[in-house]
Amino acid sequence: MFITMRTLCIGLLLLLVQTPALAEYPERTIRLIVPYAAGGTTDILARIIGQKLSAAWKQQVVVENHGGANGNIGSDIVAKAEPDGYTLLLGTSGSNAVNPSLYTRMPYDAKRDLALVTPVAVTANILLANPKFAANNIKELIDLARAKPGKINYGSSGTGSVLHLSGEMLKTMAGIDIVHIPYKGTGPSLADLMGGQIDIVFANLPSIVPQVKAGTFKAIAVTTAQRASALPDVPTISEGGVRGYDLSSWFGILVPAKTPDVITNKINAEVTRIFADPQTRARLAELGAEPVAMTTAEAKKFFHNEIDKWGGVVKASGAKVD
């Protein structure tokens, strides 16, 4: 009996030592993977988070950029990492909700291998037109498109991008026929919009606010359910008559799916605190982004719903990447 109890005690001790969830997390350096090159919105947000987590936890958070394959390379690193809270991902709706349906072959299973701890920020996309374009709002655009099916074209930053799919979602929900023109980035599409070679363009809000305020482009509508604080006079697509249209680009912290709840809850609480801070919120406003927070349970449901939603949009668009 003594031997049995002794063995049981040793087993329990080993379990305590070997279970990261029961250890004092974090105890060492944390990697925060950005699945894109340095300098973009994702990278900026990651460095804000990394700096503030380092200060709060007295452990270094190292931001690592692993770009390529529209975010798949960096995401795969995290999907296959140990689920111990020491390898995090600053993912996006494009890299982690669109890609599972867009790519014919994925290096990991998004729902099975990754968990969203919490989204941290959301940005609207915006539908722009040349100032001389006949339509001034969504209703006029829809009427024009129905009168001239297949004659209005719209530009995006590329096939399969969130901006491309913003247009496909509008086509499907409004029942209109407009033609997609893919570009190698938003810059070239805006140049053609300015020159009148293209009718309308979907763009990310943070990159276009100054030009809209200057009157360089005509803002038709934003893609989110609520108006964007950076451009409060620009209505939403839903307000324009396409009820239920709600599309945004989100950014969030993801971890390997089997990461213990006690760790994900601690990350969630600290990141939520960071983005509730007035200084951080002011920085987001400069980027044209809105802070957002969820519980881990809400985040899981949101993540799976986003993958399913984008799967339908990708299927309708016919976009595929081998």
What does the pLDDT average to over 7-31?
63
Helix (H) or strand (E) holding 311: helix 296-317
Count of domains forming the chain? 2
Co-location of 132 and 118 in the same domain: no
pLDDT at residue 23, as a whole number:
60
In a domain, 170, yes or no: yes
Co-location of 109 and 157 in the same domain: no
Three-state DSSP class for residue 17 = helix
Residue 16 pLDDT > 60, yes or no?
no
Co-location of 258 and 217 in the same domain: no
* pTM, to two decimals: 0.76
What does the pLDDT average to over 27-36?
95
Co-location of 130 and 118 in the same domain: no
∠ Cα 292 293 294 (to 5°): 135
Decide: 263 and 256 in contact? Cβ < 8 Å.
no
The DSSP bridge partners found for residue 256 are 114
Give the domain CATH number at 198: 3.40.190.10
In a domain, 228, yes or no: no
In a domain, 322, yes or no: no
Three-state DSSP class for residue 61 = strand
> 177, 206, 222: which is the final residue of a domain?
222
Show the domain range for 278.
16-123+248-317
In a domain, 272, yes or no: yes
Co-location of 109 and 128 in the same domain: no
Residue 52 pLDDT > 70, yes or no?
yes
Nearest to 257 by CA among 79, 106, 94, 72: 79
Co-location of 183 and 273 in the same domain: no
Within 10 angstroms of residue 243's Cβ, the number of other Cβ atoms is 10
* Digit-coded pLDDT (tens) for 86-118: 999 999 998 999 999 999 999 999 999 999 999
Co-location of 217 and 304 in the same domain: no
